[in-house]
Amino acid sequence: MSVRNTMRGFFAGVARAFAFLRVAIANLFVGLLLLAFVAAVLMGGSQGPNVPDDTALVVAPKGAIVEQTGTPDPVPALLGVGGSGQVAAADLLRAIERATTDDRVAVLSMDLSDLWYVSTAHVESLGSAIRAFQDAGKKVIASSENYTQDRYLLASFADEVYLHPFGQVMLPGYGMYRDYYSGLLDKLKVNVHVFRVGTYKAAVEPFTRPDMSPEAREANLALVTDLWGSYVNSVAENRNMTPEAVRRFADEYDMLLEDVGGDPARTALEHGLVDELLTREALRERLAAEVGEEDADDLSRTGFPNYLRATGPELPASGDRIAVVVAQGAIQMGDQSRGSVGSDSTARLIRRAREDDAVKAVVLRVDSPGGSAFASEVIRQELELAQTAGKPVVASMGGVAASGGYWISATADEIWASPTTITGSIGVFSMIPGLEESFSSIGITRDGVGSSALSDSYDLFSGVTERMGTILQATVDHTYERFLNLVARGRDMSVEDVDAVGQGRVWTGRKALELGLVDGLGDLERAVEAAARLADIEDYSVEVMEKPLSTGEQLLMRFADNLGFAESATAHWVRRALAGVEELHALNDPGHIYAICASCPGR
């Protein structure tokens, strides 16, 4: 047996072991949740939740607010990574919108203590719903035991913002920092063969250099400066502060903290970021007072999941429909689970919309940093078939729609983005590791014969030959040219103009509008309205095309956020490591050609 086969067998065995462990844990969870579900039904009867008068609608998202919830993974929970749940932004929006016209709901209470991620684009959409709730004469309060930057931006839309006396508000600003491995790879004698197009395509830099390139530094600084400016202005407007006051709190936090004896909560209070410091019990009493109760024990609260169930499910769509297909996460080949993007699974949803005569237009909701170039093109071609069938296609960009995420959007009839959407990154690359020097240094060599000149073109243990390098670079160049031509055709621009704003550079949605890469700024609702306009329909319903969930997946989704796992002190590092594993798993392009934005969030 050869060394290569031995190594391949070893790593394949390790992969199978981890896969078996994950499946076993998932099956165990499903069994336990099924028992819990049966017990709940037996004890609770068939009576559904009800909404009493003068109730407080409680929005307390746990984990991340996402476009589309996927199947929960029990492994992070077992590793102590609390907050690994997901909440669909559409569910939060639906609850707030229904409560706006519901006389039984007196106040909206946002408890953000367990929220660990929400994109700025989602905050903008939720903020619009919150303002409509306020315009109806209803009060909104926000509370958290600590405010991260994400939490605070959402909280700033509330009429009053409360903080626990032991809590703090931290606004560190935006940064783009990466780990660089070239020094380690040099010590291990690992050669990384890189083929790319795009001056600013920095995805491969951690493997080829010890620091950020000047080009990447320039582009990243411009991006974070733009994003931070939007954040500061939003907080200042929502809190009736000046942008300078918000910047001072962020930039001089250490000095401001010292001025009050090191009390973070008091620092936030004195500088206007919160309205009052309240303990848990005091918060309950305040919320009771808001709904007209003198005793906190008489407080009526309704969580948003129960509220959605109590106010009825969405009625089945009838008549003309606009289909929404969500493309969230890394773009991969094959059939992927719900909440992910797969060349087969996502294309199948688009095809279903195309073949449904009642569907008059398709909206592609993108929240993806890209991935496989091949998979991106498969999905884009399926969208083009819908257009050929006479159904307009509108791309709606969420928090990030870059590289492959822009590729699948490029030829849509219209593209809509949030002002803070991270988009662009028009560039491609290929990267292949070689262990020839590493193995040679420990006495392992490779030799043999082949039937043709390219039979030894690439092997992990012998590296990439010069001729194979030529082939890969030519393929990458061709893929980039195809990318440019697709964008030029879709955006009615010249290839030269696209290349000028391409080269792998990342832009905000606001800047992308100036550059002609998008048609307008707005959320998913605006994109749906645009699709209706293009389809020339006025009376329609919206249907989200989703991959069906199995019974086990439904149980996991229903109970995942209520398992009671506490977050460990090392949760951040565990989550980061798991994300790295998922990124490697997503690299499954058959030609090893990728359109990925490495600096984008959501990876």
User: Which residues are catalytically annotated?
Assistant: 201, 403
378 close to 397: Cβ distance less than 8 angstroms? no
Closest CA to 589 of 314, 333, 393, 377: 333
Q: Is 586 helix (H, G, I), strand (E, B) or coil?
A: helix
Work out whether the CA dihedral 44, 46, 52, 57 comes out positive or negative.
positive
- Positive or negative: CA dihedral 311, 131, 162, 285: negative
Residue in the block written with tokens 């093109």: 377
Please enumerate in sequence order all residues whose Cβ is within 8 A of that of 361, keeping only pairs 6 or more positions apart, or say none.
322, 323, 391, 392, 393, 394, 531, 532, 534, 535, 537
The rounded distance, in Å, linking the Cα atoms of 274 and 260 is 16
Half-sphere exposure of 506 (CA within 13 A, CB side): 37
93 half-sphere exposure, CB direction, 13 A CA radius: 18
Q: Tell me the CA distances in angstroms from 154 to 59, 166, 186, 238, one per residue in order.
A: 12, 21, 44, 10
Cα–Cα distance, 44 to 327 (Å, whole number): 37
Task: Extract the tokens encoding 41.
Answer: 């039904």
What is the 3-state composition of the chain as percent helix, strand, coil, each rounded to the nearest 5? 45, 20, 35
CA distance 172 to 167: 16
Pick from 338, 373, 239: nearest CA to 553: 338
Tokens for 81, please give them.
């990574």
Q: Kindly report the number of other CB atoms within 10 A of residue 488's CB atom.
A: 18
